[in-house]
Amino acid sequence: MSEEVRIALIKGDGIGVDVADAAMAIVDTALARTSNAKLAYEEIQAGAGYFSEHGVDIEPEGEIRAGKADAIFLGAIGLPSIRHADGTEISPHLRLRDRFGLYAGVRPVKAYPNAPQRLADPRASTIDLIVLRESTEGLFYSAAAHSRSLVVNDDEVQDVLRITRPTTEKLHHFGFKLARKRKERGKAGKLTCVDKANVFTSMAFFRKIYDEIAPLYADVETGYNYVDAQALDLIRKPWDFDVLVMENMFGDILSDLAGGLVGGMGMAACAEIGDDTGLFQPAHGSAPDIMGQNKANPLAAILSGGLMLDYLSEKLERPELADAAGLIESAVDKGFEENLLRPMEFGGDMGTKEVTRQVIDLIH
C-alpha cells in the first residue's frame, strides 16, 4: 500500500466550503482510477468566520500543522463584512505565503470550447497562457504581515514594494523551467518579463536579474513588456503569449484580467509554490451571497486540485499522481468540448453539485 499523502485542508469562508468539497471529491476519484494512492486530509479552521468567533484568523497551531503537510488546499478566505480595525479584510493565506516562502504563483489561463470567450477574434479560442506571479514580495510585502508599512498615521500611509535578489532569482528560474516544460508539451515555450523597468528602480532590478538568468536557458524564447502595455496586449493579442513573469501586485491584477477573457474567476485555478511546500486554491473570492446555494462554479477549485497532484507527483517522485492530474484536466476538456459542463456562472443550468457529478462521470 502506498504511503498516504498528507493534505492540510482549509475550506475557509463562503463558497470556499462548497468548492473545496467538490475539488477533493474529484481528486479522490481521479486517484482511485489511476493508482492506490490516498490523500489524508487534516482540516484546519481559518478565515473571517473563524476570526469573528475567536478573535484570531486561524486555529491554534494551524500554521505549523499546515507546514508539516505535503501540500495545502484552500477553498476561499474572507467576508467583506468582517474586517480588521484598519479596514483590511481577514487574510491568513497572505501570511501563509509569507511564512512558507510560496514565491511562485502559477495562474493558468485557458480558453475552453462552449465556455464564454469575451473577445470576438476567433484566435481567442486558442488562449493558453500562464501568469507567473511572485507571491511573497512586491507591493504585497506590507500586506502579508501587519506593521510592515513605513508610515501609518491619519495624514499618510506608505507601503513597501520589496524586490530581493534571492526570491527573484528563484522566481525567474521557475519561470524558465516552466516555459521549457510547456515547450516539451507542444506549447510556445516563451517567457515574457512584465515590469515597469522604465520608471521604478525596483522593476529595473527585477528585469536585470531576468537578463542575468536568461542565458542559462538558451532554448527558451524571451520577451519583455511593460505592465501597462501587457494589459493592452491581453486584450489585443493574448494568443501571442505563453508564460508571463511579474511582480506580485501586477500579477494580482493581470491574472484577473486574463481570467475574464476565458469565462471568469470560476475557471481561475492557482498554485503557490515554494521550496518546501505548495498551496493550491481557486483564485476567486468567497462569494458569501451564494454560499450553500449550489450556485458556485467549482471548476477553478477542481483544476487547482489537478495542479496540486502535479506538484505532489514531482515533489514526492510519484508519477501516478501526475496521471491523476492528467485525468482531471482531460475530463474538464472533454466536458466543455461535448457541452456537458454548463456552470450557472456562464448562464448554464448546472450548479456546484451537478458540475462535480459530471466531472466524476467523465473521469469514470
- Asked whether residue 275 carries a pLDDT value surpassing 60, the answer given is yes
Helix (H, G, I), strand (E, B) or coil at 232: helix
Strand partners, 229: none
Map grid coordinates 481567442 to a residue: 124
Mean of the per-residue pLDDT values of the chain:
94
Question: Closest Cα partner for 259 from 221, 297, 206, 207?
Answer: 297
In sequence order, which residues have a C-beta less than 8 Å from that of residue 351 and are 6 or more positions away?
293, 294, 295, 296, 344
Distances from the Cα of 105 to the Cα of 65, 218, 271, angstroms: 22, 24, 6
pLDDT in tens, 209-261: 999 999 999 999 999 999 999 999 999 999 999 999 999 999 999 999 999 99
Helix (H, G, I), strand (E, B) or coil at 58: strand
Structure confidence at residue 1 as a pLDDT band (50, 70, 90): very low
The C-alpha cell of 63 is what?
500554521
Furthest-apart CA pair in the chain: how many Å? 62
Structure confidence at residue 264 as a pLDDT band (50, 70, 90): confident
pLDDT score of 2: 58
pTM: 0.93
pLDDT in tens, 295-320: 999 999 999 999 999 999 999 999 99
